Amino acid sequence: MVCAVYRPPIQTQARVTADLAELEQQLQYILTRHSGPIVIAGDININMKTDSAAAEQFRQLLRGYSLQQHTTEPTFRASGSIIDVIITNQSVDRAGVVHCDYSPHNWSRVLLSVSDQRPQPCTIATRCWSRFDADEANRQLTEVDWTPVYASDSPEEQWDYLLAVTRPILDILLPERRVRVRNPVAPPVTDATKELMAQRRAALRDGHIDTYKQLNRQVRSAIRRDTREELERRVDRAGPSGLWRSVQPIVAPKRSDRSTPAADADELNRFFVEVGPRTARQVTAAGPELPTRLPRVSTGAFQVTPICPDDLRRVVGRMRSSK
């Protein structure tokens, strides 16, 4: 696990103690959940080259969790201090600093050995909606007995019955299949783009900032052009049947799963009913006087109307597959 850290350059004892206490809480969270190599790197704005109270307090924190600080050479050239650190929970093969041309800080680097850990293959359950037979789904939905929905006054029971009768239909028309998620690959670049990238690195190394900015814009434009051309080649090779598989990583990237709140209909109702009284209790009488607003007059009302099979099909079509 690689962690980045930054502490503002405020050297009061109270602020240093508060910042290190916050860092200790995060260390406890990491160490109790991760058993592998841990690397913490960043600018702590505490000079580790001295024996100040802040530096000693930071060293004591590291010793308490068996962590090692490997940067021993000055990282901030103006004062010759060591304020950029690299901390690990294991020994390293080599450590040092390298001069940086565009920053008053030097590069800090370490070389450490880690075991070869391959990521576990990830699979997801999905349905092929391009083969969805809407007419057949509509026919099967019209044959379902919806009497329990109209006879029940509980939204939970109505929703459970809807899922109970629609999921078997989806499993027949759109059976779930397991798909292995491939790791993303680097963007395709041509030899001409690689040459531009080499020129950009040379301009940055020599301190030619204006040339670097111009080459950086050219490199980004070239990468977009190479990616577009590679996408066109993939579509031509895959044909019409593989069009969506080729463009999906760009137009619809995978999103991280969000946990569904464990709340039923009654809890949601109680939450929204209590919003007004809770807000009124939080507003004190000593606060500023709020302008009086006349209530809005609306003739709209909530009405329960029957649903047609087409509307029901659209609702079912938006449902995500169950895992």
Whether 12 and 57 share a structural domain: yes
Alpha-carbon gap, residue 198 to 48, rounded angstroms: 36
214 inside domain? yes
Whether 12 and 107 share a structural domain: yes
Q: Where are the alpha helices (DSSP H) in the chain?
A: 13-31, 53-64, 134-142, 147-151, 155-173, 191-206, 209-238, 243-251, 265-282, 309-317
How many angstroms separate the Cα of 193 from the Cα of each of 216, 222, 250? 11, 6, 21
So what's the pLDDT on residue 268? 75
213 inside domain? yes
Q: Can you give the pLDDT of all 323 residues of the chain as single tens digits? A: 888 999 998 889 899 999 998 888 888 888 878 878 889 999 999 999 999 999 999 999 999 888 999 999 999 998 999 999 999 988 888 899 999 888 889 999 999 887 766 667 778 888 888 888 889 989 998 998 989 888 888 888 899 999 899 989 988 988 888 887 665 556 678 889 989 988 988 888 888 888 988 998 999 899 889 888 888 888 888 777 777 777 776 665 555 555 555 667 777 778 877 877 777 776 655 555 656 555 555 555 556 567 777 777 777 777 766 55
Q: What is the DSSP letter of 101?
A: T
Q: Is the CB of residue 82 less than 8 Å from the CB of residue 50? A: no
So what's the pLDDT on residue 240? 76
Angle at 304 between CA 302 and CA 307, to 5 degrees: 135
Whether 124 and 105 share a structural domain: no
DSSP string, 263-319: --HHHHHHHHHHHHHHHHHHS-TTSPPPPP-PPPP-----------HHHHHHHHHTP
307 inside domain? no
Range of the domain at 141: 120-182
Whether 100 and 35 share a structural domain: yes
Task: Please state whether the predicted TM-score (pTM) of the whole model is above 0.75.
Answer: no
Alpha-carbon gap, residue 203 to 210, rounded angstroms: 9
205 inside domain? yes
Alpha-carbon gap, residue 125 to 287, rounded angstroms: 54
So what's the pLDDT on residue 32? 79
- What CATH number does residue 73 fall under? 3.60.10.10
Whether 106 and 6 share a structural domain: yes
290 inside domain? no
So what's the pLDDT on residue 294? 57
Whether 66 and 146 share a structural domain: no
Number of domains making up the chain: 3
Q: Is the CB of residue 108 less than 8 Å from the CB of residue 97? A: yes
102 inside domain? yes
Whether 102 and 127 share a structural domain: no
Whether 199 and 176 share a structural domain: no
Whether 30 and 65 share a structural domain: yes
